[in-house]
Structure 1
Amino acid sequence: MRSFCIAFLVLMSVSYVFSQTVTLDQPRSISLKPSETLKIPCNVSVSISSYFWPWVRQKAGSGLEYMGHIQSSGGKIYASSFQGRITVTRDVSKNEIYFEMPNMRNEDSGIYYCARGTR
């Protein structure tokens, strides 16, 4: 069975008003076989209950693709093309957001980003 690689970037030092720096830390890369489950933790340096946290993907040669996000309240919103395919959760006590996509396919190869939305 052929494996494929999912790449992640560590999004660091996202600056905003008041010169506060937000650090988002996630794994750099992972290789999966088709049908395996992708699980990505994203550790955040600020309170996750103060912002919403989108997940986006970039396939080779394409632009960013919004997948969904978790709101500051914990509510979840998914893009229609990913509804029922992904799950985004969080652990407020650890300041972590989690992305999960079961049953990976070759066409799911790409770079996956966690990001911080505005308040």
Structure 2
Amino acid sequence: MQKYDGIYVHIKGPDEPAHDGDFQKKKESIEAIDKYFFSSLLPKLDIANTIVAITADHSTVCAIKAHTADPVPLLVCGGNIKPDGTMSFSEKAAKLGSVGELKGVDIMPFLVKLAKE
């Protein structure tokens, strides 16, 4: 992994059950990604010299079975980033985090700035 400046991974899994209106399956899909993908990836990273960002490209609300313009959570860790006390990853928790709300177009410049600090 050290030869790459960045890696982008798109996992569509949680979107499908949301379009079906199945909150429980959406939740289970997110938990499976955490358990199987991130538990394999994170130990392979030098987290002190790596910025990890987890977000979504859009919100899909189970109640309406459709995409919305609602803000999505952004989790950022690694490098010199200090925890801000946010203990969960959700739209509600994201509003309480230290990053605040960013427009999608501002996320990559924000991450590059963090990587240079």
Higher RCO, Cα 8 Å, sep 6+: 1
TM range (shorter): 0.3 to 0.5
Return the TM-score normalized by structure 2. 0.34
Larger of the two Rg values belongs to structure = 2
